[in-house]
Amino acid sequence: MGETHSLEDRFQAFVEAENKVEPKHWMPDGYRKTLVRQISQHAHSEVVGMLPEANWISRAPSLRAKLILLAKVQDEAGHGLYLYSAAETLGTSRDQMIDDLLSGKAKYSSIFNYPTLTWADMGAIGWLVDGAAIANQVMLCRTSYGPYSRAMVRICKEESFHQRQGYEIMMTLAKGTKEQKAMAQDALNRWWWPSIMMFGPSDDNSPNSAQSMKWRIKRKSNDELRQEFIDKTVAQAEFIGLTLPDPDLKWNAETGHYDFGEIDWTEFFEVIAGNGPCNAERLAARQKAHDEGAWVRDAATAYAVKQAARKPNPSTQTHAA
């Protein structure tokens, strides 16, 4: 009896030995479901995340800034695609995921439900929002699911440009006129708290975290990641002479970390529940893009079918059905 191990036990030992799980491996249903939810949410976040920044492409202050912003938004689309592909290896379909996003069934990061009011918001998003995302994504490079891990490695390589370009925008504004510096400070004031909420609820209020850590999907807890991010960001803000909007923020020599003020979790859960400043606008924009792109998808399909019919070689036929 001592020698019989359930599939679950063997799976647990497999991930604890730092093995990567691949699509064809046996995995517990819960593991598969958790990953489909997490990876698709992550993909949706990349895709919806294009919207707040797209808002400023046509009003970027220089051609250089515009080219950079375009490249960044294009990266986000690419990141969404890597992640949708990773989720599909678990047996869900792209169409199902898109439907779930558009119907409001699937979530995406709460941060993208805040508006981008000034050019400085492009700086704050790159520096803080992408910075927070990187902290999470660097940890996920070591996730136990192979395709997710590989997507994360590729994304991390590309994200660092995002954070640096954001910080550069903030630095430029902070060194500028009084008004420009005030604009940077205002953006920091508005984005700071939502950014540190991105790591999710605190550990004692995050019921799924423990199981995810056990399965090696997550490698660090929400609070650990948040603390690391805050510790890193304080000096970056000081360097450009901006103030993080938290009067309780102070160095704690005993813990070796910064103490910080209470997070307004009511706001976080309100935004998650769909009551943030831009939830409806974001979904409407996605729905509009989906609807207005329908004829392009139809035309591409029709063209492929026609071309395949003309070609004598059957090996290039499409599987439109």
Partner 1 sequence: MSQASHQWPLWEVFVRSKNGLAHKHSGSLHAPDAEMALKNARDVYTRRSEGVSIWVVPSSSITASSPDEKDPLFAPSDDKVYRHPTFYDIPDEVGHM
Binding site for partner 1 (CB under 8 A): 22, 24-25, 71, 74-75, 78, 81-82, 85, 88, 93-95, 99, 150-151, 154, 158, 294, 297-298, 300-301, 303-304, 307-308, 316, 318-321
Q: Between residues 59 and 311, which has the closer beta carbon with respect to partner 1? A: 311
- Give the sign of the dihedral formed by CA 112, CA 275, CA 205, CA 47: negative
Q: Give me the least distance between CB of 304 and partner 1, in Å please.
A: 4
Separation of alpha carbons 84 and 207, rounded Å = 25
Separation of alpha carbons 106 and 128, rounded Å = 24
Q: Give me the least distance between CB of 56 and partner 1, in Å please.
A: 21
Count Cα atoms within 13 angstroms, Cβ side, for 54. Answer: 16
Tokens of 143: 């996730």
Residue 57 exposed, middle or buried by CB count within 10 Å (0-12, 13-18, 19+): middle
Separation of alpha carbons 192 and 188, rounded Å = 6
Q: Give me the least distance between CB of 65 and partner 1, in Å please.
A: 19
Answer whether 145's CB lies under 8 Å from 66's CB.
Answer: no
Separation of alpha carbons 130 and 92, rounded Å = 27
Q: Give me the least distance between CB of 164 and partner 1, in Å please.
A: 15
Q: Between residues 29 and 254, which has the closer beta carbon with respect to partner 1? A: 29
Q: Between residues 63 and 294, which has the closer beta carbon with respect to partner 1? A: 294
Q: Between residues 84 and 215, which has the closer beta carbon with respect to partner 1? A: 84
Q: Between residues 148 and 167, which has the closer beta carbon with respect to partner 1? A: 148
Q: Give me the least distance between CB of 192 and partner 1, in Å please.
A: 30
